[in-house]
Structure 1
């Protein structure tokens, strides 16, 4: 559509409606915005580029550059081949994948059920449970009581200790509750007249209408489980059970060498720096792959719930 002026609601500028109170941007303003966006993108992508290039560099290249590599030379995949060859890193990656999958499914199941129950104002002890959950957002027993509870339940040195202590987020439940409360009550009442129960209503009506927040909360839980390392550091003593983030912590901060790679590093077949960068790349892959699929729901999933809640 060509540019139109004088309309009651706004002006069409380059195919979109601009509010009447919004001034047209100047060329200098547009240019400055473009420069800022380019600089922000470079600030984000440049470190990632350095990490990837260093993980693909040979020992000689890393030695010549004195550390991190910016310009790729002598590209090799030996670091990834060794890491994925069935050693400690491979086992840790499988642990992280398993904990993230099971934990996310469990957290989403409990969060959705809790949010739906709290969204029904006629449910038993609705206000009491809501106030109790809100209190946990401001008051916490602390690390030592939490550890004693986990130990008392016999969960130490089990994968459940990586899931149950952080299984629920009250904030996520409140966001889902706000969306569930915004569901048209006419639809729910019609389903009840037709004989549908609460589980049927939740599964066939409420959840399909709340795909955006459910997708966003699922991403939050998945990223939280994938990135978590603190629970494993205090609840697990068996090194064979450690997730990928703890192996990354050992490599980068403690300068420890993964089991099975020490000989390759000592014989100068691998660079310890390349191993560190390769593990970082492996840790970033799931989040990088999943984020674009949830991005379209992110704005609607967070802002609508905040406005209507």
Structure 2
């Protein structure tokens, strides 16, 4: 098919806009990375803005990771992300699958109750009192249990399950399979895209956990990486237990941001195709 002049102009405009948007998105990331790798003398010499460093130093990362607070917070975040995502996926899967079955007794009532939670919640104070009453304060579970199930994610996964042809369920039932076997051997293998998508939602939420940490955790040893990064950025004059460098530099602040962001960014390219497919299939009922 031969493209006309109008089509070429349209494509040129679209590509130009995409390039500009891409630059606008990537520039802050490049700036943060460059400052974290550049000696402060060079950063100050360039007026505080530098994109391509001429001299590279890893001193900020050495000083940052040399303090016990950062590795400890990183391990806490990894634990909360891995274990929390696993708990989220198991509970979401076990709740979304029954709701996708139209013959489930009381299905409409349960869906109504779930939708209500998207519009109203008990508030921060009742949530805190509930966490306190269950003995979860100052434990890593306070960052996992209160958000164990996401209503929006349940609805996405339920819609995906409803799109699986009913003939497949009937065929395995004729072979004598029960619901748990159907879920494990039929539904889950067919639901890899949506499960990876929901898993990404949950894992990013756990990795970026901040509000729940400052609300339920007062023990510094249990603070996740995002709280430590916030302290570095908000309190640049704090010592942060560094023995040789009492005042964190701007390079160390940027290095903290990189340390907090890189792991979750590195995972995304591996599940990008599943993420797009899962969002499209899981959000359209038809």
Q: Structure 1 residue 86: deviation in Å?
A: 5.2
Secondary structure, aligned partner of 1:237: coil
Q: Does the 8 Å CA contact 1:250/1:256 hold for their aligned counterparts?
A: no
Q: Distance in 2 between matches of 1:152 and 1:66?
A: 52
Quote the residue 2:87 is aligned against.
106
Q: Structure 1 residue 283: deviation in Å?
A: 1.3
Q: Structure 1 residue 261: deviation in Å?
A: 2.3
Larger radius of gyration: 1
Q: Structure 1 residue 26: deviation in Å?
A: 3.0
Ranges in structure 2 where 5+ consecutive residues have no aligned partner: none
Quote the residue 1:275 is aligned against.
252
Secondary structure, aligned partner of 1:71: coil
Residue in structure 2 matching 1:75, options 18, 34, 56: 56
Q: Structure 1 residue 237: deviation in Å?
A: 0.6
Q: Structure 1 residue 292: deviation in Å?
A: 1.1
Task: Give yes or no for the alignment of 1:191 onto 2:172.
Answer: yes
Q: Distance in 2 between matches of 1:258 and 1:291?
A: 34
Quote the residue 1:32 is aligned against.
13
Q: Distance in 2 between matches of 1:209 and 1:178?
A: 13
Q: Distance in 2 between matches of 1:286 and 1:71?
A: 22
Q: Distance in 1 between matches of 2:69 and 2:48?
A: 25
Quote the residue 1:17 is aligned against.
none
Task: Give yes or no for the alignment of 1:296 onto 2:259.
Answer: no
Superposition map of 1:144-223 within 5 A:
144-223=125-204
User: Displaced runs of 4+ in structure 1, greater than 6 A?
Assistant: none
Q: Distance in 1 between matches of 2:5 and 2:95?
A: 47
Greater share of residues in helix: 2
TM-score (normalised: structure 2):
0.93
CA RMSD, aligned part only? 1.9
Ranges in structure 1 where 5+ consecutive residues have no aligned partner: 4-12, 15-22
Q: Structure 1 residue 45: deviation in Å?
A: 1.1
Quote the residue 1:245 is aligned against.
226
Q: Distance in 1 between matches of 2:159 and 2:68?
A: 46
Quote the residue 1:140 is aligned against.
121
Q: Does the 8 Å CA contact 2:67/2:242 hold for their aligned counterparts?
A: no
Q: Does the 8 Å CA contact 1:251/1:258 hold for their aligned counterparts?
A: no
Query: Which stretch has the larger CA shift, 255-264 or 280-289?
Result: 255-264
Q: Structure 1 residue 258: deviation in Å?
A: 6.0
Deviations 1:11-40 (A, max 9, x none): xx68xxxxxxxx874332222222211111
Q: Structure 1 residue 304: deviation in Å?
A: 2.1
Deviations 1:183-232 (A, max 9, x none): 11121122122121111111111111111111111100000110110000
Q: Does the 8 Å CA contact 1:232/1:246 hold for their aligned counterparts?
A: yes
Q: Distance in 2 between matches of 1:75 and 1:94?
A: 28
Quote the residue 2:110 is aligned against.
129
TM-score (normalised: structure 1):
0.87
Quote the residue 2:38 is aligned against.
57
